[in-house]
Amino acid sequence: MPRKAREKHSHAQYHIMCRSISETNLFREDADKDYYLSLVAIYTRKYKCAVYSYCLPDNHVHIHVDPRGYDISSLMHSINTAYVIYYNKKYDRHGPLFQGRFLSKIVDSDRYCLVLSAYIHNNAKDIPGYRGREEEYPYSSYGIYLGIRKDTHKLIDKSLIKGIFGIRNKKSFIKRYKEFVSKRSDMEVIDKEDPCEEIFEAKNEYDSGRRVIIRDMKPARVIAYIAMKLKKSVESIISTDRRQNKYRAFTAYVLRVLCGLRYKQICENIFNVTISGCSSLCRKGYELTERKGSVYSAIFNELLCANLY
C-alpha cells in the first residue's frame, strides 16, 4: 500500500519530528547533538531557510523550521542523510538510523507558532534533571530566547516569535516569553486551539518580518540574467571550459535554490556535468555567495528581488 503523500505548501512553516529506530539513541553523546545542529545550520543557511526553535533529547528531534519556500523534503533529506553517514562511520554500524521518514506538520497560524514554540521549549522537562529548569538544557533553543546561552551555531531566528509578541524591549520580551512558556509546562500535546489570550488581547505592534522566497524562477531567464550581470555569454556561463568554473558553480547553486531544481534537472541546463559533479558545483557556488562584497553575493541578492518567471 503506497504511503500517504506529505502535506506541503510553498508558503508553509513546519513542525519537524525525527525519531531513531527502537532501542537506538539518535545521539549517544553531546558531540552528536552538536554535529546535528551544525548540519541544520549549514543546510538552512545554504538554502536560505529559517529555524525558530529546536529541542534535541537523546532519541528524537523537534524543530520549528521555515523553509521560506524551499522544499522541506529536500532540506530534511540533506540534513538527515549527512547525519546518518556521520553516525554510522563514527559508531561502525550499517543500515537505517531514523524510524521511517521524518514527520511534518504544517504550522498555519500565529497561535500555532506560539503554542509550538512553548511545546518544543518545554520538551526538556522529560529529560532527567531538567524539569522546572527547561531553559538550562543546552540542546534546546529556550535558553537562547531567554538570553542565558549563546547561539553558538548561529541558528535561531527569534524575529517571528518576537514579532507576534510585539514587544521591542529585550528584557520585557524575555519576561513575557518565559511566563508564556512556563504557563504551558504541563502541555503533553500541541493544543492548536489555545487562545493565547495574554498575547492576542494585548494591543502590541505586530511585525514578524517573515519573508517567503519564490522558488520557481524560470531557469533560462535566470541563466540569462546571470550572464548579463557578469557580462558574459550564456554559452560561457554553462560551458565545460574550466576557466569558467566559478560561473558554472554559481549558476548551479542559483538553479538549486531559486528555481527549485534537483541535481538531475540542473544537469539538463549545464553542459556536461554529472550528478555528483553538480553537487560539488552547488557547494562551491554557495561558498561564492557567502563572500561578503563579492559580485556573486550581489547578483544573488538582486535575484532574490527579481521577478524572473
Domain with CATH 1.10.1750.10 in the chain: 219-305
Domain with CATH 3.30.70.1290 in the chain: 13-200
Q: Band the pLDDT of 258: cuts 50, 70, 90.
A: very high
Give yes or no for residue 278 having a pLDDT over 60: yes
Q: What is the mean pLDDT of residues 21-32?
A: 94
The segment with the largest mean pLDDT, out of 139-153, 212-226, 265-279, is 139-153
pLDDT tens string 157-185: 999 999 999 888 999 999 999 999 999 99
Q: Which CATH architecture has domain 13-200?
A: 2-Layer Sandwich (3.30)
Q: Band the pLDDT of 4: cuts 50, 70, 90.
A: low
State residue 199's pLDDT score. Answer: 85
Judge whether 268 and 220 are in contact, CB under 8 Å: no
Judge whether 184 and 115 are in contact, CB under 8 Å: yes
pLDDT tens string 188-247: 889 888 889 888 776 565 666 677 888 888 999 999 999 999 999 999 888 887 778 899
Residue 39 to residue 45: CA distance in whole angstroms: 10
Which pTM value belongs to this model? 0.91
Q: Which CATH architecture has domain 219-305?
A: Orthogonal Bundle (1.10)
Judge whether 292 and 252 are in contact, CB under 8 Å: no
Share of the chain above pLDDT 70, in %: 95
Whole-angstrom CA distances from 191 to 115, 186, 196, 250 are: 7, 11, 10, 44
State residue 216's pLDDT score. Answer: 85
Judge whether 80 and 102 are in contact, CB under 8 Å: yes
State residue 205's pLDDT score. Answer: 59
